[in-house]
Amino acid sequence: MHVGVIGGGVAGLTAAYRLAQAGEQVTLWERSNHLGGQAVSFPVAHGRLEYFYHHLFQSDTDITALIHELGLGDELQWLPSDVGYFADGRIQPLNGALDLLKLDVVPFHDRVRIGLVTAYLQRVRDWKKFESVTAEAWLTRAMGERAYKATFGAQLDAKFGRYAGDIAMVWFWGKIWLRTTSRRSPLEGEKLGYPMGSFGSVTDALASAARTAGATIHTGLGPEEIRSNAAGGLTLSFGDGNADVQVDRLIVTTPSPIFARLAPELSDAYRAKITSLTYEAAVVALLEMDRPLSSTYWMNIADPSLPFTAVIEHTNFVGPEHYGGRHYVYLSKYLETDHPYFTKDADELIAEYTTYLNRINPAFDASWITNSWVFRERAAQPIITLNYSERLPGHRTPIPNLYLANTSQIYPEDRGTNYSVRLGNQITAMVVDDARSGVPWGSGDQR
């Protein structure tokens, strides 16, 4: 069986590797010139770094197992994380229950309520009950409006903008749960994982293992159209004088709006289902500096007058000695694609952002910056609304032998490289099982 895979991010690469291991003929096409998708890395001083800040939680067992399987176990380090909260012109540490009790952005009894709600959420396993209530409604009821608005509400606004009030409680529960499992005890600090050669070393090793197992991987090329053919497979058209390619089965890992455009034969019902699920976009500025901005790794910005909503100082997690003494700071903002920052000229965006950095460190001077980049992603964060499980599109599409496996189908956990590995493993098992059991075309899950 010849299986095609569209997209060379973590999900597509994992699927290509597993399919090749299963003895199938595999061809993967990645439209951009590099592999890695949202987890892509690029060269910086003495090393490589992600376009978008990345780390792993200790609950990320699928990718951890894969990293070990690829022989990179020694590269994966579990390092202490350091979280801060910027409000009222100050950075306050937020590394556990004791820091929360000292967080003076709300009165003491509100902090106790926030602590109790967090402790409750850390213990709940039955997420189903959080499917039909918004995070805003549930958290406001549980901790009171003032505490909600000053803390979790501000974070939801920062991440989801105009959609903040629509986010289901199950998404918020997932976030708390993931962080809980990254601590061994409530009083012990959190440890996060990082492959020391960057996530690029993982996707490189994955691509190389897939090729060694027999997969063919193309970059800089992606289909413009996918249609079913008389032989019962799929025909991929690439345009620009490239020959059409026929495959027996095809896995698409691109975001849903791209898939909807690529496959004109999708039924109206399936198309409506996948296009009704939306994503937040992200714009991330990365600054290289000759000295640190702060001593915090992950700083949530709870001051709406700042134009970015998190400052992630990577070199306060993985030390500057790994990057020739340079310091790297991401300034992150999730937004909608019609927000002016999404299309703003990179130099103008950097110039605007840097005027705010002495709010975080009064000594900051623009001369500290030795290099800068701006990265953008349209499908950065699926928006998880009420009763999402009923809205999830199936992996088997109405077109025979055509499968969809993308981040909008990760649930109830939040998207992340771990779940793209899981998706790649699961979709391979489904395709191989369908082929072996001769599942008739179009009889699959077409929700």
Interface residues with ligand FAD (CB under 6 A)?
6-12, 29-32, 37-39, 52-56, 222-223, 253-254, 258, 262, 282, 284, 377, 380, 406-407, 415-418, 420
d(CA 24, CA 3): 7
> Could you count the other beta carbons within 10 Å of the beta carbon of residue 270?
19
- Reading the block at residue 93, the tokens are 């540490």
Which of 380, 437, 365, 447 minimizes the C-alpha distance to 161?
Answer: 380
241 or 438: CB nearest ligand FAD:
241
254 or 401: CB nearest ligand FAD:
254
134 or 372: CB nearest ligand FAD:
372
The CB-of-251 to ligand FAD minimum distance in angstroms stands at 11
The CB-of-51 to ligand FAD minimum distance in angstroms stands at 8
Tell me the three state secondary structure of residue 64.
helix
The CB-of-108 to ligand FAD minimum distance in angstroms stands at 32
**DSSP letter, residue 173:** H
- Reading the block at residue 421, the tokens are 């590995």
d(CA 213, CA 18): 9
d(CA 79, CA 54): 13
30 or 136: CB nearest ligand FAD:
30
The CB-of-423 to ligand FAD minimum distance in angstroms stands at 6
DSSP per-residue codes, 105-134:
TS-HHHHHHHHHHHHHHHH---GGGGTTSB
The CB-of-38 to ligand FAD minimum distance in angstroms stands at 3
103 or 306: CB nearest ligand FAD:
306
The CB-of-381 to ligand FAD minimum distance in angstroms stands at 7
Longest dimension (CA), the chain: 69
Residue 249 φ then ψ, to 5°: -140, 155
Burial of 126 (0-12, 13-18, 19+ CB in 10 A): exposed
> Could you count the other beta carbons within 10 Å of the beta carbon of residue 115?
17
The CB-side HSE value for 136 (13 A sphere, CA atoms) comes to 14
The CB-of-9 to ligand FAD minimum distance in angstroms stands at 2
